[in-house]
Amino acid sequence: MSKVKGSPGLCYVEDRRSNNRKRSSSAMAETHSLQDLRQAAVTSKVFVQRDYTSGTICKFQTKFPAELESRMDKQQFEETIQTLNNLYAEAEKLGGRSYLEGCLACLTAYTIFLCMETHYEKVLKKIAKYIQEQNEKIYAPLGLLLTDPIERGLRVVEITIFEDRSIGSR
């Protein structure tokens, strides 16, 4: 397994193919389901890094990785990342509700959270649902799988690229 560096600070690719194999040029023509991807061989992974230009808020870089050019449309990728960025901004937004949750937590020795979900937890569920929908509608048919950033400690957005050959032979 070798790692290939992409644009500085943007992403890197973990390549699991041997050097003598070539990527199929008909990747966009084939469509796959999430079930197919579970049985397919992983070709490589692209990691979209956090964007710290606005501070430590949870935001990911929207620059399109070159490794996905033959797989998907640039606009679809940027729209997905921008939506994720907007959802994380919504989760971290401080308002009256967050203040009230904090006050209730202090008054109840934090036992209130046994009975209710925080605003942040609700938005994280919304993000997980959005990622699942994107995988089903956009990414899986292209032989890609988007991983929830929460599974990677909110450090990266991981996009797994699956080998077309193993999917088509089923």
Query: Is 125 a residue whose pLDDT tops 90?
Result: yes
pLDDT at 6: 43
**Strand spans (E) along 20-118:** 42-49
Q: What is the pLDDT of residue 66?
A: 94
> In this model, does residue 22 exceed pLDDT 50?
no
User: What pLDDT, on a 0 to 100 scale, did the predictor assign at position 40?
Assistant: 67
CA 51 to chain centre: 14
Average pLDDT over the chain reads 82
pLDDT exceeds 70 at position 109: yes
Predicted local confidence at residue 2, as pLDDT: 41
Look up the domain containing 49 and give its range: 2-168
Q: List, for residues 66-80, the tens digit of each pLDDT value.
A: 999 999 999 999 999
Amino acid at 103: C
* Domain total of the chain: 1
| pTM assigned to the model | 0.74
In this structure, of 35-39, 59-63, 79-83, 101-105, the range with the lowest mean pLDDT score is 35-39
Flag whether pLDDT at 121 surpasses 50: yes
Lowest mean pLDDT among 34-38, 54-58, 143-147: 34-38
Burial 62-85 (b: 16+ CB within 10 A, else e): bbbbebbeebbeeebbeebbeebb
φ and ψ of 52, to 5 deg: -100, 15
> At residue 55, does pLDDT exceed 70?
yes
Q: Is the pLDDT of residue 132 over 70?
A: yes
Low-confidence winner among 19-23, 52-56, 108-112, 159-163 (lowest mean pLDDT): 19-23
With 60 as the cut, is the pLDDT of residue 34 above it? yes
* Per-residue pLDDT, 42: 79
